Amino acid sequence: MVKIRLRRMGMKRTPHFRVVVINSREKREGRPIEELGYYNPKTKEMKLNKESALEWIKKGAQPSETVQYLINNCNEDGTLNYTKKSAEKISKKAQAKIEAEKKAAEEAKAAEAAAPAEEAPAEAPAEAPAEETPAE
């Protein structure tokens, strides 16, 4: 069976990979049938021959999960379409503080909504007799 998978290159703690078409019985650094491109996970830099990869898939080659992700998120020119996540990680104390502030704001809104609601019925009866008096 032919697979499309990553071949690890680089030194310790600085990996980069080549995307290769290889026989599944070969070891990870074995002789590939064809090299399709490269991928650097640290810098998110990638160059992939997408047309050739799709041809191999049509012929029956099985891509690994990571390679399938790279092919799906690849632009037409072979570069990775990567968007950096902007979510910040905050501590549990900070999360609790934010939740407490939200609750306080909700309670303040509820109190403001209750105060005009209490005043409105008091004004309504005062206006009602005033309307009835001119009618007589």
pLDDT of the chain, 136 residues: tens digit per residue: 999 999 999 999 999 999 999 998 888 778 889 999 999 989 888 999 989 999 999 999 999 999 999 998 888 888 888 776 666 778 888 889 999 999 999 988 888 887 766 665 555 555 555 555 665 5
Q: Residue 92: its pLDDT value, please?
A: 87
For domain 2-72, give the CATH superfamily: Ribosomal protein S16 (3.30.1320.10)
Q: Residue 132: its pLDDT value, please?
A: 58
Is residue 23 within 8 A of residue 4, CB to CB? The reply is no
Strand ranges in 26-117 using DSSP code E only, listed in sequence order: 34-40, 45-48, 62-63
Q: Residue 79: its pLDDT value, please?
A: 84
Give the start-to-end residue ranges of the domains of the chain: 2-72, 91-126
- Amino acid sitting at position 84: K
